[in-house]
Chains A and B, each alone.
Chain A
Amino acid sequence: MSVLKVWRSLDPEQKQILLDKQVNVNRSVDEVLTLLRPLAACDALADKARTKLGCSFALAIVVTLFGSFWIAGMLGWTIGGVFVLLLVATTSVLGYFWLWTRKIDVSNNCRQFLVPVLSVFREDIDATKPMHLRIDLSSPTAKTKMQSESAPYASGIYHKVIDSKYLDPWMSAEAMLVDGTKLSWRITDSILERKKTKRNPRGKYKTKTKYKKKTDLEVKLGLRAKSYDLVNVDATVETQGKRNVVEMERTIVTMSLDPLDPRALIDLVAEVYRSAKPAQKEAGA
Protein backbone atom coordinates (compact mmCIF):
# COMPACT_ATOMS: atom_id res chain seq x y z
CA MET A 1 0.00 0.00 0.00
CA SER A 2 1.38 3.40 -0.89
CA VAL A 3 1.96 6.16 1.62
CA LEU A 4 -0.60 8.32 -0.20
CA LYS A 5 -3.32 5.67 0.22
CA VAL A 6 -2.56 5.35 3.93
CA TRP A 7 -2.50 9.15 4.30
CA ARG A 8 -5.93 9.40 2.65
CA SER A 9 -7.29 6.72 5.01
CA LEU A 10 -6.30 8.77 8.10
CA ASP A 11 -8.89 10.88 9.86
CA PRO A 12 -8.37 14.66 10.24
CA GLU A 13 -7.06 14.27 13.82
CA GLN A 14 -4.42 11.75 12.73
CA LYS A 15 -3.34 13.96 9.83
CA GLN A 16 -3.03 16.91 12.20
CA ILE A 17 -0.85 14.83 14.55
CA LEU A 18 1.51 14.00 11.68
CA LEU A 19 1.79 17.69 10.87
CA ASP A 20 1.97 19.04 14.47
CA LYS A 21 3.91 16.03 15.84
CA GLN A 22 2.22 16.41 19.21
CA VAL A 23 -0.13 14.02 20.99
CA ASN A 24 -1.86 15.01 24.20
CA VAL A 25 -4.87 12.82 24.91
CA ASN A 26 -6.96 11.41 27.74
CA ARG A 27 -8.47 8.28 26.27
CA SER A 28 -8.81 4.56 26.88
CA VAL A 29 -5.84 2.45 25.83
CA ASP A 30 -7.81 0.92 22.96
CA GLU A 31 -8.69 4.36 21.63
CA VAL A 32 -5.07 5.47 21.92
CA LEU A 33 -3.92 2.42 19.96
CA THR A 34 -6.64 3.00 17.37
CA LEU A 35 -5.29 6.54 17.02
CA LEU A 36 -1.61 5.63 16.87
CA ARG A 37 -1.43 2.36 14.90
CA PRO A 38 -2.37 3.94 11.55
CA LEU A 39 0.13 6.76 12.23
CA ALA A 40 2.85 4.19 12.82
CA ALA A 41 1.94 2.40 9.57
CA CYS A 42 1.94 5.69 7.66
CA ASP A 43 5.29 6.69 9.14
CA ALA A 44 6.88 3.35 8.21
CA LEU A 45 5.70 3.71 4.60
CA ALA A 46 6.71 7.39 4.47
CA ASP A 47 10.22 6.50 5.69
CA LYS A 48 10.62 3.94 2.91
CA ALA A 49 9.13 6.24 0.26
CA ARG A 50 11.27 9.21 1.35
CA THR A 51 14.52 7.37 0.70
CA LYS A 52 13.41 6.34 -2.80
CA LEU A 53 11.97 9.79 -3.56
CA GLY A 54 15.15 11.50 -2.33
CA CYS A 55 17.34 9.42 -4.63
CA SER A 56 14.96 9.86 -7.57
CA PHE A 57 14.75 13.63 -6.97
CA ALA A 58 18.54 13.99 -6.91
CA LEU A 59 18.84 11.93 -10.09
CA ALA A 60 16.07 13.92 -11.76
CA ILE A 61 17.85 17.22 -11.01
CA VAL A 62 21.05 15.94 -12.62
CA VAL A 63 19.18 14.53 -15.65
CA THR A 64 17.19 17.77 -16.05
CA LEU A 65 20.26 20.00 -15.86
CA PHE A 66 22.44 18.07 -18.26
CA GLY A 67 19.74 16.33 -20.32
CA SER A 68 18.05 19.62 -21.23
CA PHE A 69 21.06 20.88 -23.20
CA TRP A 70 21.57 17.50 -24.84
CA ILE A 71 17.90 17.20 -25.86
CA ALA A 72 17.81 20.82 -27.05
CA GLY A 73 20.98 20.21 -29.07
CA MET A 74 19.54 17.06 -30.66
CA LEU A 75 15.97 18.18 -31.31
CA GLY A 76 16.20 21.96 -31.25
CA TRP A 77 14.61 24.24 -28.66
CA THR A 78 11.08 24.01 -30.10
CA ILE A 79 10.52 20.22 -29.92
CA GLY A 80 13.23 19.71 -27.31
CA GLY A 81 11.55 22.34 -25.15
CA VAL A 82 8.55 20.03 -24.67
CA PHE A 83 10.84 17.26 -23.38
CA VAL A 84 12.67 19.73 -21.17
CA LEU A 85 9.35 20.89 -19.72
CA LEU A 86 8.41 17.27 -19.06
CA LEU A 87 11.73 16.73 -17.25
CA VAL A 88 11.23 19.87 -15.16
CA ALA A 89 7.66 18.80 -14.30
CA THR A 90 8.82 15.30 -13.26
CA THR A 91 11.58 16.77 -11.11
CA SER A 92 9.13 19.21 -9.50
CA VAL A 93 6.64 16.44 -8.68
CA LEU A 94 9.38 14.25 -7.19
CA GLY A 95 10.68 17.21 -5.17
CA TYR A 96 7.19 18.07 -3.94
CA PHE A 97 6.52 14.52 -2.70
CA TRP A 98 9.98 14.24 -1.15
CA LEU A 99 9.37 17.46 0.81
CA TRP A 100 5.88 16.26 1.73
CA THR A 101 7.19 12.95 3.16
CA ARG A 102 9.69 15.01 5.16
CA LYS A 103 6.87 17.23 6.43
CA ILE A 104 4.79 14.29 7.71
CA ASP A 105 7.78 12.47 9.18
CA VAL A 106 7.45 11.76 12.89
CA SER A 107 9.93 10.36 15.36
CA ASN A 108 10.39 6.59 15.18
CA ASN A 109 9.71 6.56 18.91
CA CYS A 110 6.04 6.28 17.96
CA ARG A 111 6.21 3.03 16.01
CA GLN A 112 9.28 1.47 17.58
CA PHE A 113 8.64 2.31 21.23
CA LEU A 114 5.20 3.63 22.09
CA VAL A 115 2.98 1.37 20.00
CA PRO A 116 4.85 -1.83 21.02
CA VAL A 117 4.75 -0.83 24.72
CA LEU A 118 1.03 -0.05 24.64
CA SER A 119 0.34 -3.27 22.70
CA VAL A 120 2.13 -5.34 25.35
CA PHE A 121 0.46 -3.54 28.28
CA ARG A 122 -2.94 -3.22 26.59
CA GLU A 123 -4.68 -5.89 28.65
CA ASP A 124 -3.05 -4.69 31.88
CA ILE A 125 -4.36 -1.15 31.46
CA ASP A 126 -7.94 -0.65 32.62
CA ALA A 127 -9.86 -0.15 29.37
CA THR A 128 -12.76 1.54 31.17
CA LYS A 129 -10.60 4.40 32.45
CA PRO A 130 -8.82 7.00 30.33
CA MET A 131 -5.06 7.02 30.26
CA HIS A 132 -3.20 10.28 29.85
CA LEU A 133 -0.58 10.37 27.16
CA ARG A 134 1.63 13.24 26.09
CA ILE A 135 4.16 12.61 23.37
CA ASP A 136 6.32 14.91 21.31
CA LEU A 137 7.07 13.29 17.97
CA SER A 138 9.19 16.08 16.54
CA SER A 139 12.89 15.64 15.84
CA PRO A 140 14.97 15.36 19.01
CA THR A 141 17.46 17.80 17.50
CA ALA A 142 14.91 20.48 16.60
CA LYS A 143 16.12 24.06 17.17
CA THR A 144 13.56 24.58 19.95
CA LYS A 145 15.10 21.72 21.96
CA MET A 146 18.64 23.07 21.81
CA GLN A 147 20.03 23.93 25.25
CA SER A 148 23.49 25.16 24.34
CA GLU A 149 26.03 25.29 21.55
CA SER A 150 29.75 25.47 22.14
CA ALA A 151 32.06 27.87 20.40
CA PRO A 152 34.04 26.12 17.61
CA TYR A 153 37.23 24.48 18.87
CA ALA A 154 39.98 22.32 17.40
CA SER A 155 40.58 18.72 18.41
CA GLY A 156 43.17 16.42 16.80
CA ILE A 157 42.82 16.36 13.02
CA TYR A 158 39.53 18.24 13.20
CA HIS A 159 40.06 21.98 12.90
CA LYS A 160 36.46 22.81 13.82
CA VAL A 161 34.33 20.98 16.34
CA ILE A 162 30.95 22.25 17.54
CA ASP A 163 29.09 20.57 20.40
CA SER A 164 25.36 21.12 20.72
CA LYS A 165 23.23 19.91 23.59
CA TYR A 166 19.54 19.12 23.29
CA LEU A 167 16.95 18.25 25.90
CA ASP A 168 13.92 16.32 24.71
CA PRO A 169 11.31 15.35 27.32
CA TRP A 170 9.37 13.50 24.67
CA MET A 171 6.98 11.38 26.61
CA SER A 172 4.89 11.12 29.74
CA ALA A 173 2.01 8.78 30.45
CA GLU A 174 -0.32 7.87 33.29
CA ALA A 175 -2.63 4.89 33.37
CA MET A 176 -4.72 2.90 35.80
CA LEU A 177 -4.11 -0.82 35.62
CA VAL A 178 -6.79 -3.51 35.96
CA ASP A 179 -5.50 -4.51 39.41
CA GLY A 180 -5.94 -0.94 40.69
CA THR A 181 -2.26 0.00 40.35
CA LYS A 182 -1.45 3.49 39.11
CA LEU A 183 1.33 3.43 36.54
CA SER A 184 3.09 6.49 35.22
CA TRP A 185 6.30 7.00 33.33
CA ARG A 186 8.33 9.85 31.91
CA ILE A 187 11.11 9.72 29.35
CA THR A 188 13.65 12.45 28.70
CA ASP A 189 16.46 12.32 26.18
CA SER A 190 19.61 14.42 26.64
CA ILE A 191 21.51 14.53 23.37
CA LEU A 192 25.02 15.63 22.63
CA GLU A 193 25.57 16.38 18.94
CA ARG A 194 29.19 16.79 17.84
CA LYS A 195 29.89 18.21 14.38
CA LYS A 196 33.51 17.68 13.40
CA THR A 197 35.05 19.23 10.31
CA LYS A 198 38.44 18.34 8.86
CA ARG A 199 40.34 19.10 5.68
CA ASN A 200 41.54 15.98 3.87
CA PRO A 201 44.88 15.74 1.94
CA ARG A 202 43.10 16.68 -1.32
CA GLY A 203 41.95 19.92 0.28
CA LYS A 204 38.29 18.95 0.63
CA TYR A 205 36.34 19.77 3.77
CA LYS A 206 34.56 16.80 5.36
CA THR A 207 32.09 17.10 8.20
CA LYS A 208 30.97 14.24 10.41
CA THR A 209 28.10 14.39 12.89
CA LYS A 210 28.07 12.07 15.89
CA TYR A 211 25.48 11.68 18.60
CA LYS A 212 25.47 10.51 22.16
CA LYS A 213 22.05 10.04 23.71
CA LYS A 214 21.30 9.63 27.40
CA THR A 215 17.75 8.48 28.06
CA ASP A 216 16.32 8.99 31.54
CA LEU A 217 13.43 6.67 32.22
CA GLU A 218 11.38 7.37 35.33
CA VAL A 219 8.67 4.94 36.35
CA LYS A 220 6.23 5.31 39.22
CA LEU A 221 3.92 2.52 40.34
CA GLY A 222 1.30 2.98 43.05
CA LEU A 223 0.31 -0.53 44.12
CA ARG A 224 -2.70 -0.97 46.38
CA ALA A 225 -1.48 -1.96 49.84
CA LYS A 226 -4.46 -4.26 50.35
CA SER A 227 -3.62 -6.16 47.15
CA TYR A 228 0.15 -6.45 47.26
CA ASP A 229 3.02 -6.75 49.70
CA LEU A 230 6.38 -5.62 48.37
CA VAL A 231 9.43 -7.67 49.23
CA ASN A 232 13.06 -6.95 48.33
CA VAL A 233 12.30 -3.99 46.10
CA ASP A 234 15.44 -2.35 44.81
CA ALA A 235 13.84 1.11 44.68
CA THR A 236 12.34 3.91 46.74
CA VAL A 237 9.04 2.82 48.33
CA GLU A 238 6.77 5.33 50.00
CA THR A 239 3.37 4.73 51.54
CA GLN A 240 0.87 7.27 50.25
CA GLY A 241 -2.64 6.67 51.58
CA LYS A 242 -3.80 3.24 50.51
CA ARG A 243 -0.90 2.72 48.13
CA ASN A 244 2.72 1.73 48.22
CA VAL A 245 4.38 3.98 45.69
CA VAL A 246 7.52 2.62 44.03
CA GLU A 247 9.73 4.98 42.05
CA MET A 248 12.42 3.63 39.76
CA GLU A 249 14.85 5.31 37.42
CA ARG A 250 17.09 3.99 34.71
CA THR A 251 19.56 5.74 32.45
CA ILE A 252 20.39 4.26 29.08
CA VAL A 253 23.28 5.64 27.04
CA THR A 254 23.48 5.01 23.29
CA MET A 255 25.73 6.38 20.57
CA SER A 256 22.91 7.02 18.11
CA LEU A 257 19.49 8.63 17.87
CA ASP A 258 17.77 5.27 17.43
CA PRO A 259 14.56 4.83 19.44
CA LEU A 260 14.63 3.36 22.91
CA ASP A 261 14.07 -0.38 23.11
CA PRO A 262 10.55 -1.01 24.54
CA ARG A 263 12.17 -3.66 26.71
CA ALA A 264 13.75 -0.94 28.89
CA LEU A 265 10.36 0.23 30.17
CA ILE A 266 8.81 -3.25 30.25
CA ASP A 267 11.74 -4.54 32.35
CA LEU A 268 11.41 -1.70 34.84
CA VAL A 269 7.69 -2.24 35.39
CA ALA A 270 8.07 -6.02 35.49
CA GLU A 271 10.83 -5.63 38.08
CA VAL A 272 8.37 -4.02 40.50
CA TYR A 273 5.80 -6.75 39.88
CA ARG A 274 8.42 -9.40 40.54
CA SER A 275 8.71 -7.97 44.03
CA ALA A 276 4.96 -7.93 44.56
CA LYS A 277 3.24 -10.76 46.38
CA PRO A 278 -0.49 -11.06 46.98
CA ALA A 279 -1.05 -9.21 50.27
CA GLN A 280 -1.34 -11.29 53.41
CA LYS A 281 -4.63 -10.65 55.16
CA GLU A 282 -4.33 -9.82 58.82
CA ALA A 283 -5.47 -12.49 61.28
CA GLY A 284 -9.22 -12.36 61.76
CA ALA A 285 -9.74 -10.24 58.67
Chain B
Amino acid sequence: MTCEARKGFLTLSDCQNPAATQCSNCARSMCPAHLAPQSGFTMCFDCAAANANMQPGENDELWAHRYRDDYRTSTGYVPIYTSRHHYYDSQDTRSFDQRGSDALMDDDDRGGFGDS
Protein backbone atom coordinates (compact mmCIF):
# COMPACT_ATOMS: atom_id res chain seq x y z
CA MET B 1 0.00 0.00 0.00
CA THR B 2 1.37 3.43 -0.93
CA CYS B 3 0.78 6.77 0.77
CA GLU B 4 -2.32 8.48 -0.61
CA ALA B 5 -1.26 12.00 0.35
CA ARG B 6 -1.08 14.50 -2.45
CA LYS B 7 1.93 16.75 -2.46
CA GLY B 8 2.32 20.26 -3.71
CA PHE B 9 0.79 23.68 -3.93
CA LEU B 10 1.10 24.69 -7.60
CA THR B 11 0.52 21.15 -8.85
CA LEU B 12 -0.59 18.08 -6.98
CA SER B 13 1.10 14.71 -7.25
CA ASP B 14 0.98 11.47 -5.29
CA CYS B 15 3.46 10.82 -2.51
CA GLN B 16 4.00 7.12 -3.43
CA ASN B 17 6.06 6.34 -0.32
CA PRO B 18 5.10 3.12 1.50
CA ALA B 19 2.15 3.75 3.82
CA ALA B 20 2.57 3.13 7.53
CA THR B 21 -0.92 3.77 8.85
CA GLN B 22 -4.30 5.31 8.07
CA CYS B 23 -5.47 8.85 8.80
CA SER B 24 -7.92 8.66 11.71
CA ASN B 25 -10.17 11.20 9.96
CA CYS B 26 -10.26 10.42 6.21
CA ALA B 27 -8.99 6.82 6.43
CA ARG B 28 -6.46 7.33 3.64
CA SER B 29 -3.22 5.37 3.88
CA MET B 30 -0.36 7.64 4.95
CA CYS B 31 3.39 7.46 5.23
CA PRO B 32 4.97 8.88 8.43
CA ALA B 33 6.06 12.04 6.58
CA HIS B 34 2.45 13.00 5.88
CA LEU B 35 1.10 12.62 9.40
CA ALA B 36 0.83 15.81 11.44
CA PRO B 37 2.90 15.72 14.66
CA GLN B 38 0.31 18.06 16.23
CA SER B 39 -2.29 15.27 16.00
CA GLY B 40 0.05 12.75 17.63
CA PHE B 41 0.75 11.33 14.14
CA THR B 42 -2.83 10.08 13.77
CA MET B 43 -4.14 12.56 11.17
CA CYS B 44 -2.88 13.49 7.73
CA PHE B 45 -1.79 17.10 7.14
CA ASP B 46 -4.87 17.83 5.01
CA CYS B 47 -7.24 16.84 7.84
CA ALA B 48 -5.11 18.48 10.54
CA ALA B 49 -4.97 21.73 8.54
CA ALA B 50 -8.76 21.74 8.32
CA ASN B 51 -9.03 21.19 12.08
CA ALA B 52 -9.10 24.53 13.90
CA ASN B 53 -7.93 22.91 17.15
CA MET B 54 -4.54 22.06 15.67
CA GLN B 55 -2.00 24.81 16.32
CA PRO B 56 0.75 25.06 13.70
CA GLY B 57 4.30 26.06 14.55
CA GLU B 58 5.96 29.02 12.87
CA ASN B 59 6.15 28.21 9.12
CA ASP B 60 6.08 24.46 9.79
CA GLU B 61 4.45 21.81 7.57
CA LEU B 62 1.01 22.20 9.15
CA TRP B 63 1.23 25.99 8.72
CA ALA B 64 2.15 25.48 5.03
CA HIS B 65 -0.81 23.11 4.47
CA ARG B 66 -3.20 25.54 6.11
CA TYR B 67 -1.77 28.43 4.09
CA ARG B 68 -2.23 26.46 0.87
CA ASP B 69 -5.83 25.54 1.76
CA ASP B 70 -6.67 29.14 2.71
CA TYR B 71 -5.01 30.43 -0.46
CA ARG B 72 -6.93 28.00 -2.68
CA THR B 73 -10.23 28.79 -0.94
CA SER B 74 -9.77 32.58 -1.01
CA THR B 75 -8.43 32.88 -4.56
CA GLY B 76 -10.12 29.93 -6.25
CA TYR B 77 -6.75 28.59 -7.35
CA VAL B 78 -7.09 24.98 -8.44
CA PRO B 79 -3.84 23.03 -8.83
CA ILE B 80 -3.35 20.56 -11.65
CA TYR B 81 -3.40 17.00 -10.34
CA THR B 82 -0.78 15.02 -12.22
CA SER B 83 -1.30 11.58 -10.69
CA ARG B 84 -4.06 9.02 -10.46
CA HIS B 85 -5.27 8.29 -6.93
CA HIS B 86 -9.03 7.75 -6.60
CA TYR B 87 -9.47 10.18 -3.67
CA TYR B 88 -10.77 13.57 -4.77
CA ASP B 89 -11.80 16.66 -2.94
CA SER B 90 -13.10 20.06 -4.01
CA GLN B 91 -9.62 21.16 -5.09
CA ASP B 92 -9.10 18.37 -7.60
CA THR B 93 -11.37 19.34 -10.47
CA ARG B 94 -8.49 20.09 -12.82
CA SER B 95 -7.43 16.44 -12.67
CA PHE B 96 -10.41 15.80 -14.93
CA ASP B 97 -8.88 17.97 -17.65
CA GLN B 98 -7.98 15.26 -20.13
CA ARG B 99 -4.94 15.46 -22.33
CA GLY B 100 -6.03 16.01 -25.91
CA SER B 101 -9.70 16.47 -25.22
CA ASP B 102 -12.06 18.41 -23.08
CA ALA B 103 -14.36 15.46 -22.46
CA LEU B 104 -16.48 16.99 -19.70
CA MET B 105 -17.31 20.02 -21.80
CA ASP B 106 -18.03 17.98 -24.93
CA ASP B 107 -21.65 18.73 -25.55
CA ASP B 108 -22.63 17.22 -28.88
CA ASP B 109 -26.11 15.85 -29.45
CA ARG B 110 -25.15 12.24 -29.96
CA GLY B 111 -25.99 11.14 -26.44
CA GLY B 112 -24.19 8.30 -24.72
CA PHE B 113 -23.46 7.07 -21.27
CA GLY B 114 -24.01 9.76 -18.71
CA ASP B 115 -26.03 11.99 -21.04
CA SER B 116 -29.65 12.43 -20.23
Contacts and interface: CB of A to CB of B under 8 A. Distances in A.
Interface string B5-37: 001111101000000000000000000000000
A178 B68 CA distance: 17
Contacts of B99: 278-281
Interface string A253-285: 000000000010011011001101111110000
Interface in A136-187: 177-179
A187 to B, nearest CB: 18
Contact of A123 (B8, B59, B71): B8
Contact of B77 (A37, A178, A274): A274
Given A266-B71, A270-B77, A277-B97, A177 B59 contact: no
Contact of B80 (A122, A123, A278): A278
* Chief secondary structure at chain B's binding surface: loop
Given A37-B59, A179-B82, A273-B80, A123 B9 contact: yes
A281 B100 contact: yes
Interface in B79-98: 79-80, 82, 97-98
* Chief secondary structure at chain A's binding surface: helix
Contacts of B59: 37, 40, 111, 115-116, 119
B64 interface: yes
A250 B63 CA distance: 26
Contact of A120 (B58, B64, B100): B64
A6 B75 CA distance: 37
Nearest to B68: A120
Contacts of B71: 120, 263, 266, 270
7 contacts: A44-B58, A119-B59, A120-B9, A120-B67, A121-B10, A273-B11, A273-B79
